[in-house]
Structure 1
Amino acid sequence: MTHILLVEDDPAIAMSLKVTCKREGWQITWLDNASGVLPFLKSDQAQDLSAIILDVGLPDGDGLSLCQQIRHDSELGSLKDIPIIFLTARSDEVDRILGLEMGGDDYCAKPFSPRELVARLKAVWRREQLSSQYKESDKTIDDAGLVSQSPVSYTYSSGDWHYQPLNYSLTWDGQKLELSNTERKILLALLQAPNQVFSREQLLNAVSDYPDHRLARTIDSHIKSIRKQLAIVDPSRDVIYTHRGLGYALCPA
């Protein structure tokens, strides 16, 4: 059974979401505070968890900071990469940008329809392959939306790239890159069309089923983070080229 962690301090919203999710046949664990999230994620109860629905404004903490803690907590193992969808009553675009930059996969602005949230969860799972009911028989749907039954390799003069869809591992010249879900999707899009210039809007489309093009500037922050990871492997090479006013391209040469 699909297991969702709901972190929301408003009982009315929580009850509505619990009813909707249970209609989908999903198991719901509800927490109304931030302090209980990390202990729960490190317990045996969380081993089958498929996603986290996380309120940004919690009475004892900030959902954005909590998301960042999850993404960087090595004790969580594979759970640190679990899809996180924010619930936010804030209309400020800056808050939504921060949420995505801190590792969120999507967000719903309050007030929202529970059915919309369910649709967003399903879209995230289609991308991330975290639920077998959203897989296509024995095939693997990779992050770029392509159907693949085996690892994918890209060889350019700039180095060898290898992507393993089953565990989302992307390596460059034999070294694994520590990327967020969004960063991995951006780099995979660039890898499949080297030398092609991708606009911010195109890259946003590649990483989200529900792109908000007002947030296209978040791509700049993700590219900066990707470059930092690449520099750890080889600081002498910058293989992502910025085309000012246009976008970004992978430079295979």
Structure 2
Amino acid sequence: MTDTGKGLVLVVEDERPIADLVRLYLSREGYGVQVEHDGTAGLAAARRLHPVACILDIALPGMDGTEICRRLRADGDWTPVIFLTARDDEVDRIVGLELGGDDYVTKPFSPRELVTRVKALLRRAAVVSETDRVRTLGTLVLDPGRRTVTADGRALTLTATEFDLLAHLLGRPGRVFTREELLAAVWGYASHAGTRTVDVHVAQVRAKLGPAAGLIRTVRGVGYTADA
């Protein structure tokens, strides 16, 4: 384990050459890195070390990455999670996002792209501006400064990405955002990464909104809007 000023990133990857490469690139960017090679050890490390982010391979010995994420979320731990997946494992990617993952990168991947994803995710999770106005739509109240959301007076627990997606939609009620625009604005990368990520996160946000879910409307063939 290395410990530096930007915080510790936990990498759980059983392919050692990949794990070593990810460690190298993250270390170069000033992050501390803890590497584990099986799921059971990875979950224990996440609970013990409280990293700023977790990079989880989905296919792991002992316990897969989606199960690690599920158990962390069940503990109330909303540490940002990026999944590493095989290129053809769309079902695994969707399941991972539905369990509370924030992003995924498909193998083979560019280590620089992965580091960029980590940095973007941590920037989103850390941005707190007390001057941002509280956003209200129907029974929804979103406070960017405190990063809190209530619906019908009920406090919601959102991942960093779910919060930022909802905040972006509420920032301009009635404005229809394409999936590509949401990918660029919320995830910080271009449309070639795949728009299915947006659909899954919108579905997750709606599930958590409960009766207020209808405020987020699908515009067929275009994208999404928060009804004004």
TM-score, normalised to structure 2's length? 0.82
Give the deviation of 1:27 after TM superposition: 2.0
* 2:214 aligned counterpart, secondary structure: coil
1:22 aligns with 2:27: yes
1:204 touches 1:213 (CA, 8 Å); kept in 2?
no
1:4-38 Cα deviation digits (max 9, x unpaired): 11111122222222233333332221111101233
Q: Please state if 1:10 is matched with 2:10.
A: no
Could you tell me which runs of 5 or more consecutive residues in structure 2 were left unpaired when the two chains were aligned.
Answer: none
AA aligned to 2:105 is C
CA distance in 1, matches of 2:91, 2:193: 10
Choose from 71, 82, 85 the match for 1:85: 82
Which of 28, 35, 39 does residue 34 from structure 1 map onto?
Answer: 39
Q: Given the alignment of the two structures, is residue 161 of structure 1 paired with residue 141 of structure 2, yes or no?
A: yes
Q: Distance in 2 between matches of 1:211 and 1:98?
A: 22
One-letter amino acid of the counterpart of residue 72, structure 1: A
- In structure 1, the partner of 2:75 is 73
Within-5 A mapping of 1:95-114: 95-114=92-111
More helix by share: 2
For residues 102-181 of structure 1, the aligned pairs below 5 Å read 102-129=99-126, 141=127, 148-156=129-137, 158-159=138-139, 161-166=141-146, 168-181=147-160
Alpha-carbon distance in 2 for matches of 1:182, 1:240 = 16
Q: Give me the whole-angstrom Cα distance separating, in 2, the residues matched to 1:214 and 1:32.
A: 27
| TM-score for both structures, normalised by structure 1 | 0.75
* CA–CA separation in structure 2 for the residues paired with 1:236 and 1:89: 36
Identity within the alignment, %: 41
Query: How many Å apart are 1:85 and its aligned residue?
Result: 1.7
CA spacing shift, 1:191–1:60, aligned 2, 3 Å? same
Structure of higher CA gyration radius: 1
1:169 to 1:88, Cα distance in 2 relative to 1, 3 A: same
